[in-house]
Amino acid sequence: MSKKRELEFKPYIGRFFQFSSRIRMSPEKAIIGKTLYGNSLKHLLCQTKETLPNSVFIIAEKRNHVRFLSGDSDHLWVPKTQLVPLKLPTFEGNPLILLEEFRKFLVYCTDTKLKDFSTDEMVRQAIKLLPQLDALIDNQRVKIIPDD
């Protein structure tokens, strides 16, 4: 019989980050490399205020490092400790905030170990999310169904 596979959620992949304020103040301290070998970076690149990206989109995650797409379509690696999440601007009715909350709920329900799992916590989160999801569904339904 096959062994059940553990779910692995990678919180960095597919999200935008920016360099921490310490790195933005002195970009020469940034550790950015072209190759990840073991748990260290090789072929390091020197950064200046002009070359340090304002934001990065993470495409892979490995141990203590993440891989991002640079401006010239090159893949570069950087330690996770040098990045902080980028706060994207929101607009009225933006579904991204609700979808992130829904994702946290699903991660809690599927990846929490049984000894740490609480049905009370699950129900509390679900009761908070259900009205918001219903409102989002109704809002999208109005946009999809044409007027007669």
pLDDT tens-digit map of 80-107: 999 998 887 666 667 777 888 888 888 8
51 and 103 assigned to the same domain: no
Examine the domain organization and report whether 66 and 103 are in the same domain: no
Residues 37, 76 share a domain: yes
Segments forming the whole domain that contains residue 45: 16-85
| Domain end marker among 85, 107, 123 | 85
Reading the block at residue 7, the tokens are 């779910």
User: Which stretches of the chain score pLDDT less than 50?
Assistant: none
Say if 36 falls within a structural domain. Answer: yes
pLDDT in the model for residue 66: 93
Q: Is residue 112 part of a domain?
A: yes
Report the alpha-carbon distance of residue 51 to residue 9 in Å, rounded.
31
Task: With respect to residue 5, please indicate whether it lies within any of the assigned structural domains.
Answer: no
For residue 111, tell me if it sits in a domain: yes
- Whole-number pLDDT of residue 118: 85
**1 within domain boundaries:** no
**Through-space distance between the first and last CA atoms of the chain, rounded to whole angstroms:** 56
Instruction: Tell me what pLDDT residue 81 has.
Output: 92
Same domain, 80 and 100: no
In which region does residue 5 sit, left (phi positive, over 0), alpha (psi from -120 to 50) or beta (all else)? Answer: beta
pLDDT the model gives residue 82: 92
- Does the residue 91 lie in any domain? no
Q: How many domains does the chain have?
A: 2
pTM of the model as a whole: 0.62
Q: Are residues 81 and 124 in the same domain?
A: no
Whole-number pLDDT of residue 19? 92
Same domain, 22 and 71: yes
